């Protein structure tokens, strides 16, 4: 297994305070399908494509568990394989790509979140460390679109969690 951290060149992180306990936030984010829900629906950032999740018997909830994502973006096949590398409830979870990826905007990545209790709730910090695709065209696309995609992905994870715990007014 290649160590993706030896190649990381770009980073984005984003934080928000969530109105829930650290354990509630961790439990919500411990399901990979919730974290990646933004990729399971067609959107401009996904170029109209969607990704489907396949989880192993660990369901992405234990170190070593494998998560596979596959789909299409503008007719191009996309495939990602991730493995959970760190899981410390209710404080932190990290996963990273392994093996050969078929992505368009970024190549390899390490993605995760950290949770800390605060006086006003729980601070959730999501982050992504990533490399650009190899090759001239991939590097050009990645240089232009990679920062936007990384921001979109991490903000969707954090803001989606905050929205989940935001009280809704009665109807």
For the chain, the structural domain boundaries read: 4-165
With cut-offs at 50, 70 and 90, classify the pLDDT of residue 61: very high
The H or E element containing residue 151 is helix 136-165
4-165 in CATH: which number? Answer: 3.30.530.20
Residue 48's pLDDT band, with cuts at 50, 70 and 90, is low
Q: How much is the pTM?
A: 0.84
C-alpha torsion sign, points 28, 38, 106, 57: positive
Phi-psi sector, 33: left (phi>0), alpha (psi -120 to 50), beta? alpha
Phi, psi of 44 (to 5 degrees): -60, -45
Q: Which of 29-33, 47-51, 100-104, 122-126 has the lowest mean pLDDT?
A: 47-51
CA distances in angstroms from 59 to 29, 63, 97, listed in the order given: 12, 10, 16
Higher pLDDT, 149 or 93: 93
Residue 169: what are its φ and ψ, rounded to 5°?
A: -65, 145
Residue-wise pLDDT tens digits, 98-120: 988 777 788 899 999 999 999 99
Contact predicate 145/151, CB 8 Å: no
Q: How far apart are CA 67 and CA 58, in angstroms?
A: 9
Q: Which two tokens stand for residue 26?
A: 């961790």
112 or 35: which leads in pLDDT: 112
Over residues 108-137, mean pLDDT: 93
Beta strands in the chain (DSSP E): 10-18, 50-55, 66-73, 76-88, 92-97, 109-118, 121-130
Task: Round to whole Å and give the CA distance between 65 and 55.
Answer: 8
């Amino acid at each position: 297994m290649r160590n993706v951290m030896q190649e990381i060149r770009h980073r984005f992180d984003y934080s928000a305070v969530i109105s829930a306990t650290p354990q509630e936030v961790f439990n919500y984010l411990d399901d990979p399908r919730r974290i990646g829900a933004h990729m399971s629906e067609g959107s401009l950032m996904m170029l109209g494509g969607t990704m489907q999740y396949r989880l192993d018997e660990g369901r992405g909830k234990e170190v070593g568990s494998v998560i596979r994502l596959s789909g299409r973006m503008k007719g191009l096949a996309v495939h990602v394989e991730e493995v959970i590398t760190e899981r410390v409830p209710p404080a932190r979870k990290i996963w990273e790509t392994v093996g050969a990826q078929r992505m368009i905007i970024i190549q390899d990545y390490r993605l995760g979140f950290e949770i800390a209790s605060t006086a006003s709730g729980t601070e959730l910090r999501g982050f992504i460390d990533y490399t650009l695709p190899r090759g001239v065209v991939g590097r050009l696309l990645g240089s232009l679109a990679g920062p936007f995609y990384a921001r979109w992905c991490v903000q969707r994870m954090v803001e989606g969690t905050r929205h989940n715990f935001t009280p809704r007014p009665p109807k």
